Chains A and B, each alone.
Chain A
Amino acid sequence: MNTNNKLDLVIAGVGGQGTILASDIIGNSSVLENLPVRAAETHGMAQRGGSVINHVRIGTDLGSMIPEQGADVLLALEPVEAIRYINYLSENGIVVLNTKPVYPVTVTSSDQYPDVSEIINTLKKKYEVYPLDASELAIKAGHPQSMNVVMVGAVSSYLPIGKNRLEECIKDLVPPKTVDINLKAFELGKENISRLIETSAKKP
């Protein structure tokens, strides 16, 4: 847990992946931690399978929009979307990334989808990057839709919020029948990232 009490987080993804629930879990648990919090979301027209970005600002009482190069962490639920919004991330920022792509509708897009490994290598040139297959972990947890909660687990150690607060909010916000799956998803995301952080720390 980060004890700085202030964090600017950008969550990027695709409409339908559950970016709003991810930011809601973090927002609600910030209130439980007694921290002011602001968030900005994409609704309406932009939501139908389009590219979406949410801003979450913990510890601020001003606006909800993070300035360019102002975010401490970029949580990307989809690889291409990490690159799309990368300029929000500050110079020493951290990228937590789901490696599973969501391909755009084929006929409307003549562009090719880049190699995921190429995306990760590009990001690694400038940033600390933690890639994980959150979609696979979600299936392991019990449901592919819990991918967003895997990602909340993955980013949790960077948040100024206690683990139990986050878990409390997950219980409150997910459909009652899926509480166990989502708690498992959270745990899997958290474990996986800890392992990645440890390994990268050991490297010279």
Chain B
Amino acid sequence: MSMREYMLGNVAIARGIIEGGGQVITGYPGTPSSEIVDTLSSIDDRDFYVEWSVNEKVAMEVAAGASMSGVNSVVTMKHVGLNVAADPLMTLAYMGVKGGMIVIVADDPACHSSQNEQDTRRYSQFSLIPGLDPSTPQEAKDMIPYAFEFSSKHGIPIIFRSTTRISHGKSDIELQSVNKEKPQPDFEKSVERWVMIPKHARIRHPRLLEIQKDIKQELQDSEWNNLKINEESSFGVIASGISYVYAREALDRLGVNASVLKIGTYPLPDDLILELFDNVDTLLVVEELEPFVEEHVRALAEDKGVNVRILGKTGKNGEYVPREGELNIDKCEKAISKAFGLTYAEPSLILESELKLPSRPPAMCPGCSHRASYYAMKKAFGSDAIYPNDIGCYTLGVQGGTVDTTLCMGASISVASGIYQAGEKRPVCCAIGDSTFLHTGINSLLNSVYNKADITVTILDNRVTAMTGHQPNPGMGKTATYEDTLEVSFDQLCRGLGAEFVEVVDPYDYDSAVDVFKRAKEFEGTSVVISQQQCVIDARRAGIKRNPYTIDEEKCTGCKQCVYFGCPAIEFDASLKKARINSMCTGCGVCAQLCKFDAIMEVEK
């Protein structure tokens, strides 16, 4: 009997790793990729090794080392993580692998939870490493065992590109059996193979080019590409990855007959594209983000002297499919109608509502220590100071005036240095989370100290990698599987990097926090404030209970000092002109320290 289970896309991918016989799995958390390692690390009875690495480059190298030893390895990350890991990736293509190695990269079209929407398929082309692009969570799972086999057979890693709607989509998933046969680790010494000095690299580069033909042929013949010719129609659609299911449904809804080529692999299946050329007059290429398939299709048509009208994102006929954001059925219906000359009516508003809706942006949690750190920081540094920031939950403080820049992981400290080195006279105080500091902030702090930048670096240490789903990091003394391990001391680490002013403070202790920030500001050179308090969500899970606070209506003057703190647990009753604390209070107590009228007190149980 077949087994079907309802699963998150990332859980299905994790299942694929188990079915395919994955042995070493690494990654750095990043939405929408995190649940792959989360799922594997939460399995108690496991016959594979799994780790959260400190960043994507490190994760890629650990997986590469495992693969050099002949075992099946996987590295997972979000799209921007591949920028960090691009250095090993590019040379790993030359070097090749022994055990199957899958580089799982989750793209985020529409920037649901990211700073850009770059397209990982460009990396596949750039590095000459083949790529897989699933159209459904089921296909995502099924591709993984194939990817292990393909990679070890051709001696090259393979990029597996997911997107938010695959990784965070759910589906009924048909399970297959688990591959119990696993290669034994056996690192074979071979300097020509594993040592990429120029002499060897010059040999490996042509080899990489040579194997492209076989790779292309085998991928073309795989089940992940599929051409359905419709002899009654002169229209053709090429759709890649998840765009295929959107295009398929859009064609059905519109009742349009067309030949359809589904793309699931890179390099692209040229023979199938040429066969499609022979059967159509007009061809629409549907893909999310970059015109990656489209550019190749245009080049192929040009090269073969094919006279087919090709439509997509570029070209003289204009844009049919948007190059930014994620696709959906509506966008595909519009593109298909326009391309094949059908009339298309935008879905009009059924309900014309005059109601003005309040906006509801995501916000820091009630009692979040970051809010307290920012409040003290701003008190000490003032609104005139410059506040470079980084990537994590704390970026949600953007409304509060202490987030002036966010570029990429680790950049807060280096951007702060740059602003100072530019000659900016205003004080510069940057902030970075614990996990982000360990990811790429260490280099930046060393650089800042070494080059004598007069800035303050705040490490917002909430004792967990919170934003991506509370993964452990080296600051917690726990591994991915929650085994005890070394707990890195931020204080000693920063001193080791040469920082002379390093102070640890509890942001819930408002006066002390302001005092430390003031002294850090006065210090000449790079000063470090480690603002340490456990994430409120983690604290609750760990069973830490604090009494909530309440406001004495008699004493409250309605000055709104506590309301300006911005905690979702503090409301203002406009009719009574009094502040009030709601049931979301977690008992951090910072608002009580801010009240000049002693109107806020702990509820004694």
Taking beta carbons and an 8 Å cutoff, which residues of A are in contact with B? Answer: 14-15, 23-24, 27-28, 30-31, 35-51, 62-65, 67-70, 80-81, 83-84, 86-87, 89, 91, 103-109, 111-114, 118-119, 122-123, 125-127
Contact = CB atoms under 8 A, between A and B. Distances in A.
A196 B166 CA distance: 38
B361 A64 contact: no
B576 interface: no
B356 interface: yes
Nearest to B242: A63
A163 to B, nearest CB: 18
Contacts of A14: 360
Interface in B181-231: none
Contacts of A41: 8, 168-170
Contacts of A113: 358
Interface string B354-386: 111111111111000000000000000000000
B350 A50 contact: no
Contacts of A15: 362
Given A64-B165, A65-B329, A106 B571 contact: yes
Nearest to A50: B362
A67 B328 contact: yes
A84 B112 CA distance: 18
A30 B351 CA distance: 31
A87 B349 contact: yes
B245 interface: yes
Interface in B493-527: none
Given A44-B468, A122-B355, 15 more contacts: A24-B6, A30-B6, A36-B171, A37-B170, A45-B396, A50-B360, A65-B165, A86-B351, A87-B351, A89-B350, A108-B363, A111-B357, A112-B356, A118-B355, A126-B351
B330 interface: yes
A30 B152 CA distance: 38
Interface of B: 4-6, 8, 31-32, 112-113, 136, 165, 168-172, 242, 245-246, 248-249, 253, 328-330, 333, 347, 349-351, 353-365, 393, 396, 399, 467-469, 563-564, 566, 568, 570-572
A58 B398 CA distance: 39
Given A39-B170, A65-B329, A127-B351, A48 B362 contact: yes
Contacts of A106: 563, 570-572
A113 B169 CA distance: 32
A64 B170 contact: yes
B172 A36 contact: yes
The 4 A-B pairs of least Cβ separation, nearest first, read A44-B31, A50-B362, A44-B113, A45-B113
Contacts of A35: 172
A108 B566 contact: yes
Most buried by A among B31, B330, B333, B357: B357
B33 to A, nearest CB: 10
Given A43-B168, A48-B364, A48-B393, A109 B246 contact: no
Contacts of B32: 43-44
B205 to A, nearest CB: 39
B468 A30 contact: no
Most buried by A among B165, B170, B242, B363: B170
Most buried by B among A38, A83, A86, A87: A38
A114 B357 contact: yes
B360 A69 contact: no
Contacts of B246: 62-63, 65
A109 B112 CA distance: 21
Contacts of B354: 122
Contacts of B329: 63, 65, 67, 70
A127 B363 CA distance: 32
B119 to A, nearest CB: 19
Given A36-B172, A45-B112, A112-B358, A27 B165 contact: no
Given A43-B31, A48-B363, A69 B357 contact: no
A62 B566 contact: no
Nearest to B171: A38
B371 to A, nearest CB: 11
A108 B362 contact: no
Given A63-B242, A114-B357, A38 B328 contact: no
A113 B356 CA distance: 8
Given A65-B246, A70-B329, A106-B563, A45 B358 contact: no
Nearest to B400: A108
B55 to A, nearest CB: 19
B468 A48 contact: no
B351 A31 contact: no
Contacts of A118: 355
A55 to B, nearest CB: 9
Contact of A31 (B172, B566, B571, B572): B172
Contact of A23 (B170, B245, B328, B468): B170
Contact of A45 (B31, B355, B570): B31
Most buried by B among A23, A46, A48, A91: A48
Nearest to A111: B358
Most buried by B among A103, A106, A122: A106
Contacts of B357: 80, 83-84, 111, 114
Most buried by A among B168, B172, B358: B358
A104 B360 contact: yes
A127 B469 CA distance: 38
B31 A105 contact: no
Contacts of A65: 165, 246, 328-329
Contacts of B169: 38-41, 63-64
B172 A109 contact: no
B350 A91 contact: yes
Contacts of A83: 353, 355, 357
A33 B530 CA distance: 53
A112 B356 CA distance: 8
A68 to B, nearest CB: 4
Given A70-B329, A105-B568, A107-B566, A49 B168 contact: no
A154 B349 CA distance: 27
B112 A103 contact: no
Contacts of B328: 65, 67
Nearest to B574: A106
B563 A107 contact: yes
20 contacts: A30-B172, A38-B171, A41-B170, A47-B362, A63-B242, A65-B246, A83-B353, A86-B350, A87-B350, A87-B351, A103-B358, A104-B358, A105-B566, A105-B568, A108-B566, A113-B358, A122-B353, A122-B354, A123-B351, A127-B351
Nearest to B166: A64
A104 B572 CA distance: 12
A39 B328 CA distance: 14
A48 B396 contact: yes
Most buried by A among B169, B248, B356: B169
B6 A49 contact: no
Contacts of B168: 40-43
A45 B395 CA distance: 10
